[in-house]
Amino acid sequence: MGFTVVNTIHLPDIDFGDHLLDPFGVRVVSAMGRSEEELIQCTGEADGVVCSGPVQPWTGRVIRELEKCRIIASLGIGYDRIDLEAATEKCIVVTNVPDYCIDEVSTHAISLMLALNRRLFVMDHAVRRSAIHFVPPSRKSVERLIHPVFRLQDQVMGIVGMGRIGTATALKARGLGMKVIACDPYVWDAVMRSHGVEPVELNTLLKTADMISIHCSLTEETRTLFDDRAISKMKSGAYLINTARGEVVDEAALIRALDDGRIGGAGLDVTCNDPLPDNDPLRDAPNTILTGHAAWYSTQADSADEFWHKAMAQVALALQGKWPLYPVNPQVKPQWLKKWSRPA
């Protein structure tokens, strides 16, 4: 058949599932594209592409150069930097891996919440530094270090974005006895209530929640959603947790709120600059836990079948003229099937 598939995020020693394409006479080309120019140069003859949607610049300029391509298969959940409108115009289906690392990221969000609520790192540092113990005679001095610590079952968890990970986080918070409220204009209220979650508007969530966990996608609508105005509405002493995308939070506004003590702290797995530069002010922000985009990881999540093969499986379907399982621009389906479902 003469198909060419380009893996633009090739990493040595990773099995991307190339064998899934063996029955279709596919030539797999491995590359590492970091810029528009590099992506254009390596994908010009591609019938299918495997990429990283949150990392690589799949702009309209790049996509318009794809003359033969029928699928852009992104690794992971996010596809922030893929121009879906341009892909649809070119009759290219874009896919992601929406069922990936749901348990890992939701557990990580809960872990950050628990560590902040119980002030674990403050206690750990105090014990290591001064051999302090939470019994007389040093009890009062330690209380001053960690005050306030609230009973978790009296706290309200606010979820921003009730997709798969947001829902899993909500259910775990409920399992800990917390009241859970959520804001997501794209999820029916009845669906949230079916999980024991109270649907609210964003302003209500900001003013009510003791813990806010961000799980929304990065779009123009959500970029810097948590700016000075939003953060100023948060309860005094509330915690902000972000395991979604760094750009959802205006980091300068967050740092000001942390420095002023207007909020209790932040747990950030993702940041605008990823990895953080040496001089990034977030490194010195008070009451902040930084985990360096590790929320996705578990031994199981890093396995080939769990993650690396799923994008290539979507490519295999597309090369057969079959509609893939995980489209993120489903509006292209009628024209895509008309163009690609006939024998190549």
Residues 249-295: tens digit of each pLDDT = 999 999 999 999 999 999 999 999 988 999 999 999 999 999 999 99
- Per-residue model confidence (pLDDT) at position 141: 67
Amino acid at 212: I
Do 222 and 248 contact (CB within 8 A), yes or no?
yes
Q: Where are the domains of the chain?
A: 3-100+301-340, 102-290
Mean pLDDT within 75-88 = 92
Decide: 156 and 130 in contact? Cβ < 8 Å: no
Q: Which CATH number is associated with domain 102-290? A: 3.40.50.720
Question: Residue 168: pLDDT above 70?
Answer: yes
Residues near 224 by beta carbon (within 8 Å), at least 6 away in sequence: 247, 248, 249, 250
pLDDT at 18 over 80: yes
The confidence band for 124, taking pLDDT boundaries of 50, 70 and 90, is confident
In the predicted structure, residue 151 carries a pLDDT above the cut 60: yes
Q: What is the pLDDT of residue 129?
A: 82
Q: What is the DSSP letter of 342?
A: S
Q: What backbone phi and psi angles, to 5 degrees, belong to 266?
A: -145, 145
d(CA 232, CA 100): 34
For the ranges 4-13, 174-183, 221-230, which has the lowest average pLDDT? 4-13
Check if the beta carbon of residue 292 is closer than 8 Å to that of residue 269. Answer: yes
Statement: 3-100+301-340 belongs to CATH 3.40.50.720? yes
Domains 3-100+301-340 and 102-290 equal at CATH topology level: yes
Identify the pLDDT of residue 136: 66
Answer whether residue 342 shows pLDDT above 90.
no
| Strand boundaries in the chain, DSSP class E | 3-7, 26-30, 48-51, 71-74, 93-95, 156-160, 179-183, 198-199, 211-214, 239-242, 265-268, 288-290
- 236: phi > 0 → left, psi -120 to 50 → alpha, else beta; which? beta
CA distance 74 to 305: 15
Beta bridge partners of 158: 181, 212
How far is 343 from 16, CA to CA, in rounded Å? Answer: 26
Between residues 119 and 143, the one the model is more confident about: 119
Predicted confidence (pLDDT) at residue 138 exceeds the cutoff of 80: no
Backbone angles phi, psi at 51, to 5 degrees: -150, -175
191-224 residue pLDDT tens: 999 999 999 999 999 999 999 999 999 999 999 9
Across the range 32-40, mean pLDDT stands at 94
If you average pLDDT over every residue of the chain, what do you get? 93
